[in-house]
Amino acid sequence: MPIKVLLFATLRDLAGQREVLLPLPAAPVTIDAVRQAMIERFPHLADHLRVALAAVNQEYSFAGEAVQEGDEVAFFPPVSGGQGSPYPQILRLADAPVDHNALIAAITIPATGAVCLFSGLVRGATAREGHLPQTEYLEYEAYAPMALARMQQVADEIRTRWPAVQGIAMVQRVGRLNVGENTVLIACGAAHRDDGCFEAARYGIDRLKEIVPVWKKEVSRDQSTWIEGSYTPTPQDRSDRAGNQP
């Protein structure tokens, strides 16, 4: 049966393509068989594929789990359905600058007395391996449908942990971003500053960098490098376990 496999970030660059139509043996097929078939198809990617995260139909997939005909499979490096809340919520990927004041206004209600906003920026230099390369720009890529679903999951987890939080916004930039430009925005509002908005915003950015499939390529004058994370999701990170994280 043919399986559509998507590759992102480092894997996409090394394979020279983003999408592969992979013929596989007759069912039943597991995600392990798909991974092995990809290694045989792209032997120069073997080391990367063995440690890559996997997703089936935009949900994290783990060893031994089945893959059906027509499923969409994705492999990617670790990443650098809602609960019906009555409060305003903004979850999106953006290819243009975001107005901070407009974003705050959009998640503010008359009962809101405090908003905590985290804003990430493109650094002009990053210490790495004993030297300080000058960054010219960053290139952000997202597995868009899965990224938005996982952003919803993070918002659900925030609401479970901090029920007094009102409006929530998560905006991740994609595409080319120059030094000084904003890369990501996390904002959480509440009636009072002690109602969890500080903690929720910190949790939001930390959790986004764990489970939302977004990657960045750091481009300097002499080289370009995909920056990969170190967090490996577990079955506890699936969307149907929202709010159960330790």
Domains of the chain: 2-76 (3.10.20.30), 89-241 (3.90.1170.40)
| pLDDT of amino acid 136 | 92
| pTM given for the model | 0.75
| Predicted pLDDT of residue 73 | 96
* Residue 241 confidence class, pLDDT cut points 50, 70, 90: low
pLDDT value at 82 more than 60: no
246 pLDDT band, cuts 50/70/90, is very low
Q: Whole-angstrom Cα distance, residue 50 to residue 58?
A: 19
Most confident segment among 24-38, 71-85, 105-119? 105-119
Host H or E run for residue 64: none
Residue 238 is predicted with a pLDDT of 84
From the list 101, 108, 105, the residue with the least C-alpha distance to 87 is: 108
Q: What per-residue confidence (pLDDT) applies to 229?
A: 84
Q: Are residues 164 and 154 in contact, defined by beta-carbon separation less than 8 angstroms? A: no
Asked whether the predicted pLDDT for residue 17 surpasses 70, the reply is yes
Greatest alpha-carbon span in the chain: 59
**Overall average pLDDT of the 72-95 stretch:** 81
Token duo for residue 212: 């939302």
Confidence of residue 240 (pLDDT cuts 50, 70, 90): low
25 has a pLDDT exceeding 50: yes
User: Which 3 state secondary structure label does DSSP give 48?
Assistant: helix
pLDDT score recorded for residue 128? 60
Q: Which residues contact 52 (CB under 8 A, 6 or more apart)?
A: 11, 35, 75, 76, 77
**Are 185 and 116 contacting, i.e. CB atoms less than 8 angstroms apart?**
no
| Mean pLDDT of the 221-238 span | 87
User: How does pLDDT run across 119-138, given as a tens digit for each residue?
Assistant: 999 998 776 655 566 899 99
Average pLDDT over residues 201-214: 96
Reported as a pLDDT band with limits 50, 70 and 90, residue 243 is: very low
Flag whether pLDDT at 83 surpasses 70: no
Is beta strand 72-76 parallel, antiparallel or unpaired with respect to 2-7?
A: parallel
The whole-number pLDDT of residue 81 equals 39
Q: Is the peptide bond before 78 cis (omega within 30 degrees of 0)?
A: no
* Cβ–Cβ under 8 Å, residues 65 and 31: yes
| Each residue's pLDDT tens digit, 26-35 | 678 999 999 9
- Beta strand 214-220 with 224-227 is antiparallel
The Cα angle at residue 182 between residues 228 and 14, in degrees rounded to 5? 30
pLDDT in tens, 157-190: 999 999 999 999 999 999 999 999 999 999 999 9
Per DSSP, the three-state class of 96 is coil
